[in-house]
């Protein structure tokens, strides 16, 4: 707070690590792939090839970003957003350079959520006439290996296309990285639903609540990507007609993800309502049993209390069959109530699935 717009001061308390800088240059001759140690080395390589891709594995310092901005004409506001990550995707054009932000999900063990919760890291992308610069928030692994492999292949279209197609490929790889995550969440929803349907037992409402929370967070990350891709499709100065067709395909993938999430959220909401209904049904079963017990024992207690009075002139006190008659009257009462409850279907469990003809 209080800093001027476009300030590249390092956020307080943030650790500054030296990022791994990876550079690809192609378009005139063979592909050049190597790791570099400084921005000056990147600047020297620029111009020797037709296109350049520089990837920072980790957020660089403010001084490094300032030097990068001077060499490639990057706007200070965009560089400031690199230092202060946001989980929301966005697109901002700055003269001849396009700035794109996309959240990458952090996955563990192939689509398992890290530490049981959804987290993302920011991928900042700068697209210029002859260069693409990507800056990843955290070091250690990403979802761009497929893009690198296609760029190394001479037979693919990646080398034949320019920087705009590379930017699309990177954005498309980020979108594809969400599919195993959303599929894993869908499997969790299906698993809980199957357990409820098969066992008729009350599910863990806390697990459902946690699942709904994760679905909402994933949706919060994916939904702005739809608007970002829609904005990219309108920027004719950066993407020609062919590249806009590819962007339309990426937008279709985002819409599929959104549809899957909306379906899972609706199913999770139904499971929460079903769990409450099952809990109420369980409570109703207990109440019904207690009601039957009380209904049966109330008249029995009444009969016992009548014949337990020791008045001197009660005619049954001296009757030889008085005791068997009282027991028989109690048994007849229990049998009568049992028949009545059976005819009304009270002995059947409300949790039992209905019979079908």
Residue-range domains of the chain with CATH: 17-153 (3.30.460.20), 282-343 (1.20.58.340)
Nearest to 126 by CA among 69, 88, 86: 69
Distance separating alpha carbons of residues 20 and 93, to the nearest angstrom: 27
Retrieve residue 220's tokens: 């919060």
258: nearest Cα among 117, 98, 89: 89
Q: Are 201 and 285 in contact (CB under 8 A)?
A: no
Whole-prediction pTM: 0.75
pLDDT of residue 353: 52
In this prediction, residue 352 carries a pLDDT of 59
Q: Which of 158, 165, 163 is nearest to 51 (CA)?
A: 163
d(CA 38, CA 288): 77
**Residue-level pLDDT at 1:** 65
Mention every residue, 6+ apart, whose C-beta is less than 8 A from residue 303.
326, 329, 330, 333
Closest CA to 93 of 235, 224, 251: 235
Q: How far is CA 211 from CA 29, 190, 207, 208, 218, in A?
A: 51, 12, 6, 5, 11
Assess contact for 258 and 224: CB atoms under 8 A. no
CB 149 within 8 A of CB 223: no
pLDDT on residue 114: 43
Q: Which residues have CB under 8 Å from 318's CB, separation 6+? A: none
Q: What is the pLDDT of residue 115?
A: 39
Q: Tokens 């357990």 sit at which residue?
A: 195
Q: Are strands 32-36 and 20-26 parallel, antiparallel or unpaired?
A: antiparallel
Q: What single DSSP character describes residue 115?
A: G
Question: Across the chain, where does the E strand assignment appear?
Answer: 20-26, 32-36, 51-57, 90-94, 97-105, 107-108, 112-113, 120-127, 131-136
Hey, CA dihedral for 121, 250, 163, 91, is it positive or negative? negative
3-state secondary structure 263-285: HHHHHHHHHHHHHHHHHHHHHHH
Residues 200, 278: Cα–Cα separation, whole Å: 8
Flag residues of the chain having pLDDT under 50. Answer: 110-115, 354-357
Closest by Cα among 99, 101, 177, 109 to 131: 99
pLDDT score for 111:
46
How confident is the model at residue 357, as a pLDDT?
A: 35
DSSP-assigned letters across all residues of 128-185:
-SSEEEEEESSSS--S-HHHHHHHH-SSSSTTTS-HHHHHHHHHHHHHHTHHHHHHHH
């Amino acid at each position: 707070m209080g800093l001027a717009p476009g300030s590249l001061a390092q956020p307080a308390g943030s650790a500054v690590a030296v990022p791994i800088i990876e550079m690809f240059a192609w378009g005139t001759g063979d592909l050049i792939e190597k790791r570099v140690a400084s921005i000056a080395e990147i600047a020297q390589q620029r111009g020797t090839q037709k296109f350049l891709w520089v990837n920072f594995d980790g957020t660089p310092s403010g001084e490094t970003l300032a030097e990068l901005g001077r060499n490639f004409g990057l706007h200070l506001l965009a560089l400031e957003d690199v230092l202060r990550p946001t989980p929301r995707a966005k697109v901002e054009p700055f003269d001849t350079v396009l700035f794109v932000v996309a959240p990458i999900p952090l996955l563990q063990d192939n689509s398992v959520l890290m530490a049981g919760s959804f987290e993302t890291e920011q991928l900042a992308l700068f697209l210029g006439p002859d260069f693409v610069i990507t800056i990843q928030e955290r070091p250690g692994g990403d979802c761009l290996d497929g893009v690198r492999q296609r760029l190394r292949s001479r037979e693919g279209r990646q080398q034949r296309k320019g920087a705009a197609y590379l930017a699309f490929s990177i954005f498309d790889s980020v979108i594809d990285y969400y599919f195993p995550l959303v599929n894993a969440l869908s499997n969790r929803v299906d698993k809980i639903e199957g357990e409820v349907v098969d066992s008729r037992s009350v599910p863990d409402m806390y697990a459902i609540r946690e699942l709904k929370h994760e679905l909402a967070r994933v949706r919060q990350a994916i939904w702005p990507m739809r608007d970002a891709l829609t904005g990219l499709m309108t920027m004719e100065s950066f993407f020609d007609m062919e590249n806009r067709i590819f962007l339309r395909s990426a937008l279709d993938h985002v819409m599929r993800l959104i549809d899957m999430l909306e379906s899972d959220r609706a199913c999770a909401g139904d499971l929460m309502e079903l769990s409450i209904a099952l809990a109420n049904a369980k409570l109703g079963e207990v109440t019904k049993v207690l009601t039957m017990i009380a209904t049966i024992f109330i008249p029995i207690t009444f009969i016992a209390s009548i014949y337990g009075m020791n008045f001197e002139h009660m005619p049954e006190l001296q009757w030889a069959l008085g005791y068997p008659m009282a027991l028989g009257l109690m048994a007849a009462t229990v049998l009568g109530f049992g028949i009545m409850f059976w005819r009304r279907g009270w002995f059947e469990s409300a949790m039992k699935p209905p019979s079908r003809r």
